[in-house]
Structure 1
Amino acid sequence: MQKLLVVLPRVPWPLEKGDKLRAYHQLHFLSHHFEIYLVALSEGKPHPQALTQLKPFCKEIHIIPTSLARRFWGMLKALFAGWPLQAGYFYHSRAYREIRKILSFHNPSFAYFQLARTGPYARGLSIPSIIDFQDTFSAGIQRRIEKAPFWVKPFLYFEYLRLKQYEAALLDAFTEATLISLPDRDLFPHPNRNRIHIIPNGVDFEFFTPNPSAIKEEWVLFTGNMNYPPNVDAACFLAKEIMPQVWKVRPSVKLILAGATPHPSVKALENGKTIVTGWVNDMREYYNRAAIFVAPMRMGTGLQNKLLEAMAMLLPCVTSPLANQSLGAAEGREILIGTTAHEFALHIIHLFNDNKFAQQLASNGSIFVKNNYSWEKATHRLADIIRQTAQ
């Protein structure tokens, strides 16, 4: 079995962030094809279950804890090295040394790096390598500039310019590259962007299976890491502009904002009609009890895992054109699309009022996700790319 070096900016457990979810499932299925040597950074001590969860997939695991002081030092280094600040934030010289030891002692055939922020660790690499950009992050930051506070805009613009240049340089430096969706490839800042492979995310269908005996509530649900700016924006848009229009017609409906580390502006939304959960041990409880899932994304890029999970759990879903660009569901048959707060509110009211239509939309959406988003199929394609490149 060929040896594969995997470098991650975060330990992929627990799975409260999209990059960790993708890494975890890719490790799972790549371990069927390769002997994996994992190097991952950890913001402080890793979760007590992390090693137990990851050991079945890896020959060796090297977790590098980093302090806040170390991360700020890395950002200072990035300023002078020409890297994006996020690359400096996730840089640790000890991790770089661990990677060199693995290359020297174990001689892996290939290296797999997750996200542009791990780019500095590939300096001087002499084996074939692939970088998983996931999303075109420079485009995501560019979208955030418009809605950011005035004092944040200069920092975001600086990071946008650095990241745009860095993404292009990394595509030239790595043997192969991947993204999650075609719309992100169209936004990628390089003339040879079409050589980037599309490796979509998937759903763990064994885990995300609806409970037929669950009792449905009059809940509108939105999930995600509630400290991530695009999710914060969506939660505030939903609570402040969309749901007040719904409550005029259906005052008994509750809005559930479920996800880890809620930002203060999300916490401030909590009242008698809006519940902010914080960390959730098992999101299926909320998927099973909710009537409708709404993801009114206005910022960010990439495929929304939350939509895949909700559709797999047989929830009728409403989202934005931005989010559906990557998803690719059929409007009106597999998903509903809203742009304005009024359009979102009308869709939500329609789904509450027409149960037959809501059930059909949910069924069509579930079939669509099962036919198009499999972790195993997507990672098998990734394994083929690695094997072909490593030959």
Structure 2
Amino acid sequence: MKLLVLLSRVPYPLEKGDKLRAHHLIARLAERDRIILCCLSDGPTDPAHIEHLRKFCAHIEVIRVPRWRILLKLATAIFSRLPFQVAYFHHRSAQRIIDRVIREHRPDAVLCQLVRTTEYLRSHPTLPKTLDYMDTLSKGMERRTRNAPFYLRPLFQTETRRLIRYENLMFDLFDETVIISEQDRDLLYHPLRDRVTVIPNGVDTTHFAPQPLEKKYDLVFTGNMNYPPNIDSVLYLVRKVLPLVHAHRPGTNLLISGVDPSAEVRELARNDPRIEVSGWVKDIRHSYAAARIFIAPMQIGTGLQNKLLEAMAMGMPCITSSLANNAVRAVPGESILIGQSPKDYADHILRLLDDAAERDRLAEAGSRFVRTRFDWERSAAQLEELLARSTRRVAEAMDQPVARV
């Protein structure tokens, strides 16, 4: 099968969740399919990253969109019905390139990741199309509205309404739809949401495996540190949880590791020597392995937290929120610890720091859970089946031969 994959970002390096999911899935789909990759970029792309992607992509088209054009498009989006984040990624110049790629390569099917890229296929109604929602963006925006400054809430509310409408519209436009978790599927507003196929992320357990490094930190949090749910999580941890921990263990330290830390996050380290903000690191495994406990008290956001899967695979005892665990579905108390309040989190931290045997037990149970539940090969096989089904469905509707898969 010739498969066109349409992404809103270049899927390498893997510092963001959408890039990680796209990279692992298309690398495995490439074992059977000819991958034609089209991805958008608002900045220069490292040639080494493109060379890496050539290992499994037959053709790569990186579509550069200048930032001034993006800002202009966002300004005009005020007067349209498109969600702002769809308008951010949709441009006529990019549309022309994607149309050309479709004409030249004549793909058998298209895979779009996120509704941000789907507008490009409105003019190709007969092309077999699969949409990976990943997570429910409208619900994520709705949750962010609650914590937004009052002067931004009308904007967030508008975006929420637009996303709900657009997610439903794309459901009807695409032949197949997938999403990362049952929790996110249930948050979609479409009445036929049960038809969306759940395809979870996997975790590379040969890459994310325990490492015998010196434990320099008591706690670690990882992630894209310019992403609002991650910012909210570390602010909650530092401002509400750590003071309770420090009342009993004053020396407890925290590593916040991940790309693009916001000014608020960087300020945390300036105010307290027990907190370190590393920024981007070449190998995130070293951040995990250098800490005793992984903690992610997520209060907002949607989707599956890859950071949890990676930490559990690396043999770390993990503490998180029920919101984050709803997608993971680990058993509380058995393979993961769940906090509902600052006191809950503090109690879990103190107990684990005081009890090495309990840390080891929880770490082993978590690692075993991830190894048996989250597998990229299985997820890619599910997606391959859906892509084939989309080609059959369209071919039967048009009474044409079905593409070989």
Shorter-chain TM band = over 0.9
CA contact (8 A) 2:2 2:36 kept: yes
1:173 equivalent in structure 2: 173
1:25 aligned partner, one-letter code: H
Residue aligning to 2:71: 72
Cα distance in 2 for partners of 1:76, 1:217 equals 47
Matches within 5 A, 1:293-304: 293-304=294-305
Other structure's SS at 2:251 match: coil
Residue 387 of structure 1 is matched in structure 2 by 388
Match of 1:278 in 2: 279
Which residue in the other structure is 2:119 paired with?
120
Report the Cα distance in structure 2 between the residues aligned to 1:75 and 1:207, rounded to whole angstroms. 39
Q: What percent of counterpart residues are identical?
A: 42
- Distance change >3 Å, CA 218–CA 256, structure 1 → 2: closer
Larger CA deviation: 297-306 vs 200-209: 200-209
Name the residue aligned to 2:41: 42
Cα pair 1:75 1:87 within 8 Å, conserved: no
Counterpart of 2:316, as a letter, is: L
**Structure 2 letter corresponding to 1:115:** L
Q: 1:317 to 1:5 in 2, by over 3 A?
A: same
Tell me the CA shift for residue 78 of structure 1.
3.3
> Does the residue aligned with 1:269 lie in a helix, a strand or coil?
helix
Deviation at 1:267, TM superposition (A): 0.8
SS in 2 for 1:307: helix
Separation (CA, whole Å) in 2 of partners of 1:361 and 1:50: 37
Moved more, 130-139 or 69-78: 69-78
Q: Which amino acid in 1 is paired with 2:367?
A: S
Contact preservation (8 Å) 1:13, 1:47: no
* Whole-angstrom CA distance in 1 between matches of 2:305 and 2:19: 13
- Structure 1 residue 77, shift from structure 2 partner: 4.4
Equivalent residue for 2:241? 242
> Does 1:138 find its partner at 2:145?
no
Partner of 1:330: 331
Matched, 1:196 2:196: yes
Query: Which residue identity does 2:159 align to in structure 1?
Result: E
Aligned position for 1:288: 289
**Matched letter for residue 183 of structure 1:** Q
| 1:294–1:317 Cα contact (<8 Å) kept | yes
**Could you tell me whether the CA contact under 8 Å between 2:218 and 2:353 is conserved in 1?**
no
SS at match of 2:140: helix
| CA distance in 1 between partners of 2:79 and 2:13 (Å) | 34
TM-superposed deviation, 1:226 = 0.6
Q: Tell me, which stretches of 5 or more residues in structure 2 are unaligned?
A: 393-405
8 Å contact kept, 2:322–2:340? yes
The aligned residue for residue 23 of structure 1 is 22
* Cα pair 2:130 2:390 within 8 Å, conserved: no
Q: Could you tell me which residue of structure 2 aligns to residue 160 of structure 1?
A: 160
Tell me how far apart the structure 2 counterparts of residues 388 and 24 of structure 1 sit (CA, whole Å): 22
Whichever residue aligns with residue 98 of structure 1, its letter is I
1:253-297: CA deviation from partner (whole Å, max 9, x where unpaired): 211110111111111100211101111111111111100000000
Q: Distance in 2 between matches of 1:280 and 1:78?
A: 36
Tell me the residue number matched to 2:99: 100
Counterpart secondary structure, 2:247: helix
Give yes or no for contact 1:220–1:254 (8 Å, CA) kept in 2: yes
Question: SS state of the match for residue 202, structure 1?
Answer: coil
| In structure 2, distance between residues paired with 1:216 and 1:268 | 24
Deviation readout 1:128-184 (Å, 9 max, x if unpaired): 101111000100110111111111111111100000100000000000111000011
Q: Which consecutive residues of structure 1, in runs of 5 or more, have no partner in the other structure?
A: none
**Aligned partners of 1:79 and 1:6: how far apart in 2?**
29
For 1:291 and 1:4, the matched residues in 2 are separated by: 43
Q: Is it true that 1:63 corresponds to 2:62 in the alignment?
A: yes
TM-score for the superposition, normalised by structure 2 = 0.94
| Aligned residue in 1 for 2:401 | none
Aligned ranges for residues 75-90 of structure 1 at < 5 Å?
Answer: 75-90=74-89
Does the CA-based 8 Å contact 1:181-1:302 persist in structure 2? yes
Distance in 1 between residues matched to 2:166 and 2:302, nearest whole Å: 18
- Contact residue 220 and residue 256 of structure 1 kept, 8 A: yes
> Equivalent residues in 2 for 1:199-348 (5 A)?
199-211=199-211, 213-270=212-269, 271-348=272-349
Is the CA contact 1:218–1:252 (under 8 Å) kept in the aligned structure 2? no
Q: Supply the RMSD in Å over aligned alpha carbons.
A: 1.1
* In structure 1, C-alpha distance between the alignment counterparts of 2:76 and 2:48, rounded to whole Å: 32
Provide TM-score, normalisation by structure 1.
0.97
**Aligned AA for 2:158?**
F
> Partner residue of 1:187?
187
CA distance in 1, matches of 2:284, 2:169: 39
| Contact 1:39 1:98 (C-alpha < 8 Å) held by counterparts | no
Q: CA deviation at 1:94?
A: 2.5
**1:66 CA drift (Å):** 1.5
Separation in 2, partners of 1:368, 1:93:
46
Aligned to 1:149: 149
Contact (CA 8 Å) 1:180, 1:201: kept in 2 or not? yes
Q: Deviations over 1:215-270 (max 9, x none)?
A: 22342000001110000000101111111111121222211110111111111100
1:76 Cα shift?
A: 3.6
Contact 1:230 1:300 in 2 (8 A): yes
- Residues of 2 paired with 1:124 and 1:81: CA distance? 18
